[in-house]
């Protein structure tokens, strides 16, 4: 499994403008309060293959974010 | 991630996004962020002179001095108008003006500005790029 490439916010913005999908892995309650525009909520604590396959296109570039620490 | 061909990790997460002044959605979202109160700031470049500052007109607030890519290198106070026209802003500016990021909450900014008796503050991204200016009297909290 390859390690995700790290990008900054401006690079993320550019990728999203080109059609990348955006995933918020924060708890659902935090997502509901505030999330990046267009982000799909896939909380890390409940994330599994089935949930990812259902919500995401594996062929598209996927940008993942948490809060401010990883 | 789970069979995906191209996965990118946003360094700094959500905070990296908001500190660049980009919007968010949700129940709270941007509603109480200072970004909602930012006004356009008139500015001069680092190679300008006091004559250029004066040419901007009414100077009630500090004028940001910008370098390449609109990064704030300093700020010229209104009192600098009294200097000779040919004075380079580089010599007249405060090289370390106070700034805030666009993602901070308006209530916190308003309290801090009033505590510090400041009538305005410059807003920049985390990289120092000018976003605009916030005027204390415009913060209706």
Go through the domains of chain B in sequence order and give each one's CATH number: 26-138 (3.10.580.10)
At B119 the pLDDT is 93
Q: Please state, in angstroms and rounded to a whole number, the distance separating the CA atoms of residues B129 and B118.
A: 21
Tell me the CA end-to-end span of chain B in Å, nearest whole number: 44
* Cβ within 8 Å, pair B14-A36: yes
Name the domain count of chain A.
1
- Does the residue A5 lie in any domain? no
* Helix (H), strand (E) at residue A5: strand A5-7
DSSP reduced 3-state for B67 = coil
Question: Does A56 reside within a domain?
Answer: yes
Rounded to a whole number of angstroms, the distance from the CA of B79 to the nearest CA of chain A is 37
Q: Which domain holds residue A31?
A: 19-65
Whether residue A46 lies inside any domain: the answer is: yes
Top-confidence residue, B10 or A49: B10
Which residues in chain B have their CB less than 8 angstroms from residue A18's CB? none
Among B28, B37, B7, smallest CA distance to B135 is for: B37
Give tens-digit pLDDT for B88-124.
Answer: 999 999 999 999 998 888 999 999 999 999 999 999 9
| Cα–Cα distance measured from residue B54 to residue A59, given in angstroms and rounded to the nearest whole number | 56
Is A28 among the domain residues? yes
From the list A30, A55, A44, A15, the residue with the least C-alpha distance to B4 is A55
**The pLDDT value given to residue B22:** 87
ipTM for the complex shown: 0.87
Is B134 in a helix, a strand, or coil?
strand
**Residue keyed to tokens 């390859």:** A2
Of B7, B17, B25, the CB nearest to A9: B17
How far CA B1 is from CA of A2, B12, B73, B93, in Å, comes to 8, 19, 41, 50
CA triplet B24, B26, B30: central angle to 5 degrees? 45
Tokens, residue B98 = 């106070």
Q: How far is A62 from chain B (nearest CA, A)?
A: 5
Q: Would A60 be classed as within a structural domain?
A: yes
What is the distance between the alpha carbons of residues B118 and B113, in angstroms, rounded to a whole number?
5
Pairing label, strands B130-135, B120-124: antiparallel
B20 pLDDT band, cuts 50/70/90, is: confident
Q: Does B16 touch chain A (CB under 8 A)?
A: yes
In a domain, A2, yes or no: no
Tell me the whole-structure pTM to 2 decimals. Answer: 0.71
Is residue A8 included in any domain, yes or no? no
User: Residue A7 domain-assigned?
Assistant: no
């Amino acid at each position: 499994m390859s390690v995700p490439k790290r990008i900054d916010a401006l690079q993320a913005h550019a990728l999203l403008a080109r059609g990348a999908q955006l995933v918020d892995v924060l708890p659902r309650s935090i997502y509901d309060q505030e999330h990046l525009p267009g982000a799909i909520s896939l909380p890390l604590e409940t994330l599994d293959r089935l949930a990812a396959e259902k919500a995401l296109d594996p062929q598209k570039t996927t940008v993942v974010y948490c809060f401010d620490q990883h | 991630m789970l069979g995906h061909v191209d996965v990118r990790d946003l360094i700094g997460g959500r905070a990296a996004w908001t500190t660049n002044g980009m919007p968010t959605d949700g129940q709270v979202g941007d509603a109480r962020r200072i970004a909602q109160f930012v006004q356009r700031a008139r500015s001069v470049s680092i190679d300008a002179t006091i004559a250029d500052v004066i040419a901007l007109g009414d100077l009630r607030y500090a004028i940001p001095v910008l370098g390449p890519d609109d990064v704030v290198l300093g700020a010229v106070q209104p009192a600098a108008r009294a200097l000779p026209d040919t004075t380079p802003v580089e010599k007249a500016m405060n090289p370390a003006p106070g700034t805030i990021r666009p993602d901070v909450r308006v209530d916190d900014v308003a309290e801090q500005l009033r505590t510090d008796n400041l009538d305005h503050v410059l807003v920049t991204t985390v990289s120092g790029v000018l976003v605009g200016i916030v005027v204390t009297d415009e913060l209706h909290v």
